[in-house]
Every structure is written in C-alpha cells, then in structure tokens.
Chains A and B, each alone.
Chain A
C-alpha cells in the first residue's frame, strides 16, 4: 500500500511524487581533527531501531521543495501531526 506525505506547500500528496533524501542526522562533523574513520562512520553507519525518525524529502513531481518530516519505518507512514515545516 502506498501512503501520503505532507508537503509544506501542496499538502498531502502520494509518496511516489517525492524523492527520498535520507535521514536527518544533524550537521556534518567539523572538518578540524576529523579522522577518516569518524567521517566514514558519519556518512554510512546508522542505528535503525524502528522508531519514528526525521527525514528529508523532495517534492520533485510537485512544487520542488525540500522539507523535513517524521516517518515511522515500521508502519511506513508519516507520523500524524507531522507538519512538514522544513
């Protein structure tokens, strides 16, 4: 089953209109003193316990806005109350 995401401009739209942009992980670690291992860990390693998480999405087949929303990977649904106010 498909589901809908809340675009801050267009409202609730089918998920296939959007491009997935990845989990929100905070700012990139500062370059100073950043080791290779730490850098690779930041780029690729994740903890995915199955709890709702903040993500980036791009409304490519719509208004073209990048925004953040919260989605539950166990239900594969946007968490209600997600206001998509990236």
Chain B
C-alpha cells in the first residue's frame, strides 16, 4: 500500500549558512521567483525563508479570484500574461492548479461607474483582452440570481463582463510552486523568521533569522503585507500601508453561481467554490496594522451587501471568517524595485489586493530582474521613484471607492 502514503511535495533541505539568493516570504511571489530563477536563468542556490509556513500569508487568505481587467495598459499587460500562466504552470509543475475559467462580472451602481466600465472595456479591447459592457438585463442572464429591479438601495445600472478571469485554487498554487522550486534545487525553510538585514558598505550581505545568520549575494523582499516591516530593518521608507482585509465563506450550497461577481458600490465580491461555499470579502479596516483580526462589523456588512444584490442568499449562514494583509500603495499599482539604495536588494510588494492573481507573472519578471540586474521592460511602470516624480499609475480610476489610509 505504499502508493497510499502521502508525501510532501517539496524536499526538506539543510539550512546552509550562505546562499546566492535569499527570498524573504514563502508565498506565491517568493516561490514563483525561486522557480523562475532556476527555470529561466539556471540559478539553483536559492533559499526561501518563511516565518510561519508556506502560504500562511496573503497567498492562502485571498478569495482566489484572478482577472486582467485593470485600468492602465501597463497593468493589463502584466495581469493578462499572468492569466495565461495558470494553464501553462499546471502543465509545467505537473500539479492541478484548478483554474476555473468562469469569467468575472463587475457591477456598477452609478453613472460614474458606468462611465468607468466603458473606459475599462475600451482599454481591454484595445489591448486584445476580452471585456464587454452589459446592461442590467444581460447581467441577469449571466447571473440569474441578481436583483436587477429598483428595489436595492443602489440598483444595478450596468455590468462589465470579463470572460478570461475566474478562480484558481490558491493552496494548489502555493504547493505546486513549492514543488517546482524545490525540484529545481531551491531550499524552502519554514519557521524561519527574518529579524534583521546585514549590510556591508552599501551592499546587502545576509539576514539575521530565528534560525541563525544566513549570508547572501542577493536578497528579495517578497513578504506581502509584512514587507514594510522588513524594509524598515534597513531604513527604507515606502509608500505602502499594510491593512487588514477580511473574507468569509458560507455553508456549501448546490452549484448556482457560475461566475465571479463583484460590486464596487457595495464593496463586495463573491464566487462559489468547487465545494459549493460562497466565498466573499472585500472590506479593509482603514488603520495600518499587521494583524489578521476579523470583526463582527464586517460580517454584518457582508451579509447585508450579499442579500441586497442576491436576495436568494437571505438566511444562508457564514461558516468561517478570516483576514489577511493587503499592502496598499497610493496608486493601486505594485512596486517592483531593485534600486533601493542597497546593492543586491530587491523588493516586490505593494500589491494591495492584487497579489494572488499576479503571483506567477511577478515571480517570472522578478527572477529576470534579480538574475540580470537589469529592469525588465515590463516592470518599467512599477518603479518606486514614480511616487517622487508625481507620476502615479492611473489604476485608481478603476476603483470607485478608494479610501484614505495612512
């Protein structure tokens, strides 16, 4: 019965005292970077340091939605390539990532959001990405449970349907990438908390961790919401605010919701998992914090918003609620940077709530950046210095409710 024994997908590895490349953060971004460092550039001497267990952070806490319906051309291109990677990686990693290409329907409840949808559809179609503006009747044809009457406080005015998107099993992505990175020689160290960064004459030389000091030539900070705290270890100020974002699931229901839907007006997104649960979330507490606390306040808000949009969900119970960190930038676009004032130091952070869907493609380009030292063309739009030159990404134009945080 040996075939019944479950084995870990990645190999345990000895902790060496020096690696060529050290990546802080065992999430989708860090694991993907390690994977592509070897696949594309033959770099095997890589360690991934994760303070908890791989996928503990945002990689295992998001609502698994993937899409490419961003606002600006730079972002659409990046996320579009990211969408195409799910199928490729399922094949390459020999691990089913369960990409369910069900499409996303965004709902608009105001004239402003209808205008924004028109703009988005135009941008997407210009760049060859499928998106279509729907009227309320068409929205109800796509998702029959939606209330398109004028009963809700903010009735549905229009929808933006984006067929290339869908959902991906987020744990599978973490496990699959860990399998791929490990098979290509990367060492994954769980329970290894970084407590300091060693430098020498303007160069990064290693990290101090709960498992001892580890030297390195290159260091990548890819720790999601915790990246600001790690960058602070070498005095790097960032325009990133880590906020707690909450998500929850209902008890399982028969399959009835065959697309992801989201609403900026009600600040909710929802999809039905393959198990039948409605996975939903969206809200953030506005104050900077590093906790993953969930609150009854948002549970109530989420229930109200869901029932308003889809009355049949009244009485359905939530089973679990959890939270993760969203690392928000002022312009809703990430920071992928190798010019941080320390040679050999790289940062891949500020993904806000777009970190999961971008994981593999970000890893691919960060691997190119770290291996060559040259910023790939694709990442030109995501430099840190854009905030000092007043050249913010226009990504915020896609988001109706965009708060102040500090």
Contacts and interface: CB of A to CB of B under 8 A. Distances in A.
Q: Do A and B come from one complex?
A: yes
Interface of A: 1-2, 15-16, 19-23, 36-37, 40-41, 44-50, 55, 71, 73-76
Given A41-B388, A73-B287, A76-B291, 10 more contacts: A1-B293, A2-B297, A15-B287, A22-B405, A22-B406, A36-B389, A37-B388, A44-B239, A48-B229, A76-B289
Given A16-B297, A45-B387, A50 B229 contact: yes
B330 interface: yes
B232 to A, nearest CB: 4
A19 B10 CA distance: 46
A20 B287 contact: yes
A75 B286 contact: no
A26 B219 CA distance: 33
Given A1-B293, A45-B237, A23 B242 contact: no
B228 interface: yes
A36 B390 contact: yes
B14 interface: no
Contacts of A50: 229, 232, 290
30 contacts: A1-B293, A1-B294, A2-B296, A15-B287, A20-B287, A21-B406, A40-B387, A40-B389, A40-B390, A41-B237, A45-B237, A45-B387, A46-B228, A46-B237, A46-B406, A47-B235, A48-B228, A48-B238, A48-B288, A49-B229, A49-B232, A49-B233, A50-B232, A55-B287, A73-B289, A74-B290, A74-B291, A76-B244, A76-B287, A76-B293
B241 A48 contact: yes
Contacts of B291: 73-76
Nearest to B293: A1
Contacts of B238: 45-46, 48
Contacts of B296: 2
A20 B286 contact: yes
Most buried by B among A19, A45, A48, A55: A48
A41 B233 CA distance: 18
B314 to A, nearest CB: 24
A85 B228 CA distance: 29
Nearest to A57: B287
B405 A20 contact: yes
B295 interface: yes
Q: Would you list the 5 A-B pairs with minimal beta carbon distance, nearest first?
A: A22-B406, A44-B239, A49-B232, A45-B237, A76-B289
Contacts of A41: 237, 388
B406 A48 contact: no
B406 A1 contact: no
A63 to B, nearest CB: 20
A21 B295 CA distance: 20
A53 to B, nearest CB: 8
Interface in B272-298: 286-291, 293-297
Given A21-B406, A23-B406, A71-B287, A44 B330 contact: yes
A28 B289 CA distance: 24
A21 B233 CA distance: 26
A37 B384 CA distance: 12
A56 to B, nearest CB: 8
Contacts of A37: 388-389
Contacts of B240: 46, 48
A48 B232 contact: yes
A38 B405 CA distance: 20
The interface centre, meaning the residue of B242, B244, B293, B389 with most chain A CB atoms within 10 A of its CB, is: B293
A48 B406 CA distance: 10
B327 to A, nearest CB: 10
Contacts of B237: 41, 45-47
A23 B406 CA distance: 6
Interface in B292-329: 293-297
B4 to A, nearest CB: 41
